[in-house]
Every structure is written in structure tokens, then in C-alpha cells.
Structure 1
Amino acid sequence: MPFARVKPLDAILATAERKSLHRTLGWFQLTLFGIGCVIGTGIFVLTAAGAQKAGPGLMLAFAIAGAICIVAALCYAEIAAMIPVAGSAYTYTYATMGELLAWTVGWALILEYAVAASAVAVGWSGFFSGTILTEFLGVQLPSWLAGAPLALGGIEGGFINLPAVVISLLITWLLMIGTTESARVNAVLVLIKVTALVAFIAITLTSAYFDPDRFNPFLPAGLFGGFGTGVGAVGAAATIFFAYVGFDAVSTAAEETKNPQRNVPIGLIGSLLFCTVFYIAVAAGAIGTVGGQPIMGPNGVPFPAGSEELARQCATYAADQLPLVCSNEALAHVLRQIGWSGVGNAVGIAAMLALPSVMLILMFGQTRIFFVMSRDGLLPEVLSRVHPKWKTPYIVTAATGVAVAIAAAFLPVGRLADIANAGTLYAFMMVAIAVMILRRTAADRPRSFRTPALALLGPLTIAGCVFLFFNLPLDAMLVLPIWGFVGLVIYVAYSRGASHLGRGIVDVHEGDELEPPVPGTH
């Protein structure tokens, strides 16, 4: 039975011990790695979408999403330190709840990483079109080449998002030929992003334009927008939860970490705390200087972020009067509005330079999940085939890149973020369950980090994930069960019979194939 197919923990750990990957990362590098993953499209771009959902309550939305992520990170910290291997939530579930549920988690992670990479590509496109083409070169890309058709109705100004397609395919090519970031380059990119955000916070919070009255009303759409609406502070939290996605990538680097029992928890929790404080300060600066009230529909409910109706409303504003909620490059837009165009353009350039590194890490995470599932026999072995020259799993990387490019071409960033969040919330919930199960089934195993008050924080993580999931827009909620159904069909038709564990092959020798290094480690 699939539920009885629990991969022995000793086999997982023994396999990891035989790997040839070097342990080179310390806690500081891991924290930078986490910050590098987290700070990206969420804060640079989704600030506008979050404001359209919550208004000034965006600050509260960041706090809600951050709090749920921090309790989830505490669960991640214990299990990642205890099982410092690749595969993240998929591997943890396989070791605790069995193959079928592990498959569903791996399948959800595929949704998370690939769609998240598409969202980052769309975010990058906004900065490229706005800062580089328009501000510096004076070139206006035709709307049909710069905008994406809206899923489930309407047009967001165009037919295809060409820059998003180009950057997606470029990152795919880099991953295929084996070009990865070094830890030093990653640190430089993190420094660029953090410097840009520090400058933004300092300028906006001390600006003569800053007006506390802009925070009233604080919750124009209320705290709860209602089931399936995706608006209100909690609805915004469900969307900008995407701003924190990526911290779990720290756990995928556990096999390359020195003293993972100590350093992985520090990297996970440290990067999240840092980013949460930053996000709230950025939201305060943006709203306090130019305002962040949503554009309301005739029924008194904000128009959906990224919708055709909102696009029509935004088109009625002059370029120099464009509200925050209408901008594709929110932070750069704020600085231009208050007379800091040079710094605004610098922020746009910083985002444009840094976002591809986030895409690289997300797409690598996607291929890592595919690789591990293929290694376990749940996906065809061809997906983990390594190129003889490039020494990378080129087939799965190419397939991933094409999928990411297609999604980035035709879907707006807000909708992509909501879809990615659906898969992420499911994976986080399963990690919390896995930690609680291991406390009972492996109580005697050493734990250098123990989640404090797990009896409280474990259920809180589960409840928080379920709570945010049901505050996503209805169409985003429906994607997960539909995607899950497709996955179950594949599992029944292929994976159940091909599974190494199901065929009695318990000890998988990972060293037989070359696995590429994690970006940011070599």
C-alpha cells in the first residue's frame, strides 16, 4: 500500500553520507542565501498588488504572512537539521507519512517552484520595460509585447510578455550549461538588494511627502474580504505570502552545509526575521509617501489585482499621477513620484539585476525536486539524465524552462503568485505534520535544534497555512486540487509501479549520478 511505503530514515541519511558534495556553507552564507531567495519579486513588485487588496493594511498583511512563515520555519529548522538531505518537504514526508503523500508534496513543490519562477520573470519584465527601456532608452515596448493576457478573462494590455519569456529561457540556458552563482556573487547580489531597500526606507520615511493621514482608513477593505475574494488584509497576506517564498530553499542546501544541525536553523529563522522587519518598513514608506488606497469597484470592494477592470481604471490616470496600486515596479515608482527619479531608477536597476538570481535558485529548486523524485523511481529516469559535457540534468531543466516561459508569457504576476502560494502552503503544512510525527516515531534520535512548544506551534503552522489558503482567490484555490488530481493520475498510472521503494530497492546510491551543485555554494 502507498501509505505503508515509508522510506526508512536510516536509508535516507546513509545515502546522504555517501554523496560527494562538499559541505562549504556556514550560518552567515546560509542566511545570505535565504535573504537572496526571499527578497525578490514579492517586495519589489507585489507591494502594488498587496496595496490594491488591503490598502495601508498591507503592513499588517506582511506581519501576518511573516508570522506564519516564522512558525513554519521553526518546524523546518528541526526537521532540516535532523534530516540534512536534498528534497526538502518531499523527502521529509517520504520519511514520515509514506510514498503517496510524499508524491503529493513533491507534485505541489513542482507547482511552487516553477510558477514562482514565472512570477519573478514577470516582475523582472516590469522593471526592464519601465526602467531600462522607458527611463533610460526612451523606448516604449508595444503593449502587445509587454503585457500578458489575463487568465480567466480579459487582457492586461497585451498578447505576450516577451521580456519575461526571454529572461526565462536565458536562465534555463545558464542552468543547462552548468553556470551557477558563487557564494561571493550571491552575497554581492544580496548587498545590492538590501542597499536598494535601505535607501528606499531612509528616503521615504524621512521625506517631506510622508503624511500619517495617508494610512487612513487603515483597512479600507476590512480585515477579512470573504471566502474566495482574495481581498482585505488577510487576502493580501495570502498573496504577499509569496514575498517570503524561497526561505525553504535553505533546507535544500542542507547537504552542502557545515554543521547543518546548527547552521540551517540560523539561516532559516535569521533570514525570515530580517526580511519581515524590512518588508513592514518598506510598506510603511511606500504608503506614507504616495498613499496606497485601493481602487474600489461599484460595490465597495477593491477591483481584483491584475484584473481587466483595474487596468481600465489605471489607464485613466496620467503617467505622473499613477497610483501605487497601478504600478508594475512599485518601489521605483514611489521614488519617482516624490522627486527621487535617479534613486528610483537605481532601485529599478537593482531589482532587474537581482531578480534573475532568484529565478535561477527557484528553477534549480524545481530541477532538484524532479531529480530526487526521479532518483526514487517516481518519475522517469530520463528526467535525471546528466549531459555528458555540461554535467547537468539538461532534459528536466529544459522542460522546466519551457514551462516557466509559457506561464510567464501569458499570466500576470499577481495571479502567478497566488497559484504558487497554493502549492507552498500545502508543502509547509505537511512539514509541520512531519515534525510532529517524528517526535513520536523517532523520539530518541538526536536533535540539535528542537522546535519550541511544538505542541502549540505545529498546529498553529497547520492552521495558519489552511487559513491563508482559504483566503486566496477562488481560482487560485482551485488550481491546487486540479493539479493534485493530475498528479494522482500520473502516480497511479506510472509512479506506483516504478517506485524503487515499492520494488524493494530501499538503498538508493545517489553517488551513481552527478548532481549539480546548489547555486550559491561553489
Structure 2
Amino acid sequence: METVRTRPGAGRQGGSGRRLTRRQAVGALVAEAGGSPLRRTMGVGQLTLLSVGATLGTGIFVVLGQAVPQAGPAIVVSFVLAGVTALFSALSYAELAGMIPGSGSSYSYAYATMGELIAWVCGWCLILEYGVSVAAVAVGWGQYVNELLRLTVGVTLPDALSAPPGAGGTLNVPAALIVVLAMAVLLRGAKESAVANTVMVTVKIAALVMFCAVAFTAFRAGNFQPLFPLGTAGMSAGAASLFFSYIGFDAASTAGEEARNPQRDLPRAIILSLVLVTALYVLVAVAALGAMPWRQFAGTEATLSEVLVRSVGGGNLWPVLLSVGAVVATTSVVLTVQYGQIRILFAMSRDGLVPPLFSKVHPTTGVPRANTVIVSAFIAVLAALVPLGSLADATSIGTLFAFMLVNLAVVLLRHRNPDAPRSFRVPFSPVTPVLGMGFCVYMLFSLGADTWIAFAAWMAAGLAVYGLYGIRHSKLDHGAGPQEGA
């Protein structure tokens, strides 16, 4: 498809419909990423751990209590099925991240394939996925800190200082504190943030490996008989619940402009992180189910520490160690997801869809400083004051919508730009990305009505922002960049 450079104001001439469907040229996105002011300091190892840090969070420490009663011992198979479901989208992310190695992730991929309006919708979904989920995880961090205090010194923070107004408190200080601490690390630079994340990911992987080693001392093979007590329907229901434990593997795609060799390393990091996380989840599930009969999970939170207390004993030792691991795990998630949110807004700002302040980079640290402070302040206030409720649940719908668009983008770019350089190609395309879209649609329609209502309200607000600001300030509306014909 022919690429043309628009004249100043040319984006307005095709009418509002053309303005909504104008696309950025793939070559222009690649060139823009190549000249980025962000510093390229990350190798494949740090990129992989960035995605692991965003994915391997609080979920595995509590998810078994919710999912095991649905599937029984077949929860092990459910983890594999959920991982395979995520893999379809991960393969599409890998192809596009190698092809368009920018900071915008699926927002940029949508801009190159489906036009500006869909790109905005995707970016708005990512703000929901990243920004609101950071606040939710920060609230979880505060709860784990309170539990650790109870186990070690026998005291907890009063509700007035550890819960938001709608949940019986006044101000959730720990939730706001962890966001501010993450901001302090992020302001130091991408390299320093990656080093901190590497340490934390190592600690939380070690905590899960420790759990498995201890739980296997009480392993009973009979706990897996029968494997499918609730049938394959129960196994599928468990997989649907567990899918959201895999959200975050796309975090590496937001680091495209800070990777030393993005075309080579981004696809590797995305797929490696998903394989590593899936292996850990399956190992933990096998150890937990082997140590405690599946029926005992019903009616309890069945955290990993509770599994060890019931099956192994040892007093407070294991709960303390696993609580430390959970605190570190949530810290890593806050850091990496906050990082991703900042980079996505950086890309949207560079395209003119949000104010230019978000794309100004500090000359000494190579960090979008104002962006980092503004985003962190917003998340800290949200975590401290707002009971997230159905809005937090809506992070799942935003994620699935973005995943669906990424799979569609692979199909469209294969058709429009078949000869464009690709460092990784999705095998069996278009079947694989179409299956990825199908799984996302299935998951979307398994969500509740409240989630859809919250999502609709969020999207209405986003379209208002785009109509009032984005469409008028887009760089394509002012001839500031190459644009592909509709």
C-alpha cells in the first residue's frame, strides 16, 4: 500500500470518517522508535523478567482457593489450557513486537492496521489494564504487609490507615506508599528499574520453589484420583478463571525503545516469560494438590501458606516466608505494570493524542519524568481513596479487548504488508491469530454484566477525551508524520 506524506491540515480534508481511520505507516513507526530519546539498556534476560514480573503476582498465592473447587485435581490441566490460550495472543504479540519495536505495544499495532480511532480505543483499554490494575495490586500489597506484620510482631495497621473510605477506613496508606516507592525507582532510569525488578523476580520465584519443595514432602498421589471429578466442563471453567493469572506477559512489548536489540529480543522475551510462568503455575498446582485433598480447598482462601500449615505444619515459619514472597511479588507487579503504563502514554503523547508533557524525556536519566510523576500520583490517589470494585474487575475486559486487536492486527498486516521484515512469524497464520481472537471473544462474553457496564462507562469517557483533544491534536492531523492511505 502506498505511503504518502500528508500536507499540513491534509488529515482534515477527507472528512471526519477519514480522520478516524487514518493509519500510521509501519516504516514510520519503526523509524520513530529507532530515533527514540529513551535509552537502550535492556537485554533479553531483563526483558523476559520484566514480563515475568508483571505476570507472576499475587494471583498464584490465592487463586487456588477459587479455582480448585471448580475443577478438582484437573486444575493442573486447567493451568495448561489457560497457558495455551494465552500463548495464541503471545505469539501475535511476538510477531508485532519484532516488527514494530516501539513503546506503544498493542496501541501502536492497532494504529498501523485499524486506524486512529481503534488505536485510541486500544490505548484507552491499556490505561484501564495497566493503570487501574496497578492500584488494585497496590491495595493487595497493603493487605499482605498487614498479614506479615500480624505474623511477625502480632500487630496490624488500623483500618483507618489501611482501607479506603468505602471499605471502612479513611486512607489506604500502604497502597499509596508502594506506588510512590515504585515511582522513586522508575525515576532513576530503565536500567536501574530492570535491576530492581530482577532482584524481586528472583525472590518470588525462590518463594514458589520453596513452597513446592516443602509441599512435595507431604505429596500423596491418591489426591489426584479421579483427575476429572467435575468433568471436562469443570476443567474448562477452571481455565477461564485462571486465564487472568497470565495477564502481564505483554509488558516486554512496552520496552521496545529501551531494548538493545528489540527485533531479536522482544519476541524471545514474550514467549520465554509465558513458558516460564506456565511451568511455575503447573508445578505449584501439582505440589498444592498433592499436599492437600482438593475438597479441603472449598470454603477457604487456601493460600499457599495455608496449604503448608494444614499438610506440613511448622507453625508460622512457612506463612511468614510465603508472606514475604507475596509482598515482593506484588511490589514487582506494581513496578513493572507502572512502567508499562508510562511508556504507553509516552507513545500516545508522541502521536499527539495526549498532551506533549507525557513524552518529554529528562536529559540526564532518559526517563519521561513528568509522565512518571503524574501517572504515579494518579494511581496513588486511586489506590488510597477509591474502593475499586467493578472498575478493577473491568481491567480484565480491557486486557482481552487489547489482545483481540493484536491478533487481528497480525492478520491485517500479513495481508497488507506481506513482505515487511519480520524477526518472528506466528506459525500457521492466519489460523493461529484467528484462534487467539476466538478465545478472547469467548472470555469476553463470560464476564458479568457489571463488568460490561463499567467498561462501557470507561469507554464513553475515553471517546469524549478523544473527541475533545486527541482528534484535534493528532500529528497526522497536522502533517507531522507519514500516513497510510485508507
Provide the TM-score with structure 2 as the length reference.
0.85
Q: Who is 1:503 aligned against?
A: 478
The percentage of counterpart residues that share the same residue type is 41
| Residues 269-418 of structure 1 aligned to structure 2 (within 5 Å) | 269-293=271-295, 324-325=300-301, 330-337=303-310, 338-340=312-314, 341-385=316-360, 392-409=367-384, 418=393
Question: Aligned pair in 2 of structure 1 residues 346, 284: CA closer, same or farther (>3 Å)?
Answer: same
Conserved? CA contact 1:252–1:365, under 8 Å: yes
Find the counterpart in structure 2 of residue 314 from structure 1.
none
**Which sits farther off after the overlay, 333-342 or 381-390?**
381-390
Structure 1 residue 463 displacement after superposition: 0.6
How far apart are residue 382 of structure 1 and its match?
A: 3.2
Give the superposition deviation at 1:381: 2.2
Distance in structure 2 (CA, Å) of the matches to 1:123 and 1:36: 16
Query: For 2:202, which of 180, 191, 194 is the aligned residue?
Result: 191
1:67 counterpart = 2:84? yes
> d(CA) in 2 for partners of 1:160 and 1:65?
36
Structure 1 residue 257: deviation in Å?
Answer: 2.6
Deviation at 1:391, TM superposition (A): 6.6
Q: Is the 8 A contact 2:24 2:482 kept in 1?
A: no
Answer yes or no: is 1:265 the counterpart of 2:267. yes
Tell me the equivalent position of 2:4. none
Instruction: Tell me the distance in 1 between the aligned counterparts of 2:259 and 2:365.
Output: 24
Whether the 8 Å CA contact 1:46–1:414 is kept in 2: the answer is no
Residues 114 and 47 of structure 1: is their aligned pair in 2 closer, same or farther, counting only changes over 3 Å?
farther
Secondary structure of the corresponding residue to residue 352 of structure 2? coil
Q: Distance in 2 between matches of 1:402 and 1:96?
A: 33
- Please tell me whether the aligned partners of residues 215 and 288 of structure 1 are also in contact (alpha carbons under 8 angstroms): no
Partner of 1:517: none
Give, in whole Å, the separation in 1 of the partners of 2:383 and 2:75. 25
Instruction: Please list, as runs of the form range in 1=range in 2, the aligned pairs for 1:91-490 lying within 5 A after superposition.
Output: 91-131=108-148, 133-143=149-159, 145-147=161-163, 161-176=172-187, 181-207=192-218, 210=220, 212-213=222-223, 234=236, 236-293=238-295, 324-325=300-301, 330-337=303-310, 338-340=312-314, 341-385=316-360, 392-409=367-384, 418-490=393-465
The letter of the residue matching 1:137 is V
- Mapped to 2, the partners of 1:149 and 1:324 lie a distance apart of 27
* Cα 1:170/1:55, change in 2 over 3 Å: farther
How many angstroms does 1:110 deviate by?
0.3
How far does residue 394 in structure 1 lie from its aligned partner after superposition?
Answer: 4.3
Residues of 2 paired with 1:20 and 1:146: CA distance?
A: 39
Q: Which secondary structure state, in structure 2, belongs to the residue aligned with residue 75 of structure 1?
A: helix
Q: Distance in 1 between matches of 2:58 and 2:224?
A: 25
Distance 1:33 1:372, change over 3 A: same
Over 3 Å counting, the alpha-carbon distance change for 1:331 and 1:407 in structure 2 is farther
**Counterpart Cα distance in 1 of 2:390 and 2:71:** 16
CA distance in 1, matches of 2:286, 2:117: 44
Structure 2 Cα separation of the partners of residues 276 and 430 of structure 1: 23
**Would the aligned equivalents of 1:122 and 1:413 in 2 still touch at CA under 8 Å?**
no
Over residues 33-64 of structure 1, what are the superposed CA-to-partner deviations in whole Å (9 max), with x where a residue is unaligned? 32222211222243434446655554344223
Say whether residues 1:48 and 2:22 are aligned partners: no
Alpha carbons of 1:89 and 1:490: their partners in 2 closer, same or farther (altered >3 Å)? same
Residues 256-304 of structure 1: per-residue CA shift (max 9 Å, x gap): 33433332222111111111121122123234434555998xxxxxxxx
Pair 1:383–1:167, CA change in 2 (3 A): same
Are the equivalent residues in 2 in contact too, given 1:171–1:360 (CA < 8 A)?
Answer: yes
Question: CA-atom RMSD, angstroms?
Answer: 3.1
Note the alpha carbon deviations across 1:456-490, whole angstroms, 9 max, x for none: 11111001111112222332233222211211121
Corresponding residue for 1:317? none
Runs of 5+ unmatched residues, structure 2? 1-17
Moved more, 278-287 or 54-63: 54-63
**What TM-score, normalized to structure 1?**
0.79
3-state SS, counterpart of residue 102 of structure 2: coil
Are the structure 2 counterparts of residues 236 and 427 from structure 1 closer, same or farther at C-alpha, using a change threshold of 3 Å? same
Counterpart of 1:16, as a letter, is: A
Q: 1:62 to 1:416 in 2, by over 3 A?
A: farther
Q: Structure 2 CA distance, aligned partners of 1:74 and 1:420?
A: 22
Deviation string 1:137-189 (CA, Å, 9 cap, x unpaired) is 11033345445677xxxx6x766544223322332354456587354443322
CA distance in 2, matches of 1:371, 1:356: 23
Distance 1:104 1:66, change over 3 A: same
Are residues 1:11 and 2:22 paired? no
Instruction: Report if the CA contact (8 A) 2:342-2:372 is conserved.
Output: yes
Q: Who is 1:514 aligned against?
A: none
- 408-417 or 101-110: bigger deviation: 408-417
Deviations 1:15-38 (A, max 9, x none): 122224444433333323322222
Kindly provide the CA deviation profile for residues 174-213 of structure 1, in whole angstroms up to 9, marking residues without a partner as x.
44565873544433222211111111112213316x4744
Residue type of the alignment partner of 1:165: A
Amino acid at match of 1:349: V
Paired with 1:2 and 1:60, the residues of 2 have a C-alpha distance of 47
| 1:173–1:255 CA distance, 2 compared to 1 (3 A) | closer
CA separation in 2, counterparts of 1:26 and 1:168? 26
Classify 1:198/1:183 alpha carbon distance in 2 versus 1 (closer, same or farther; 3 Å): same
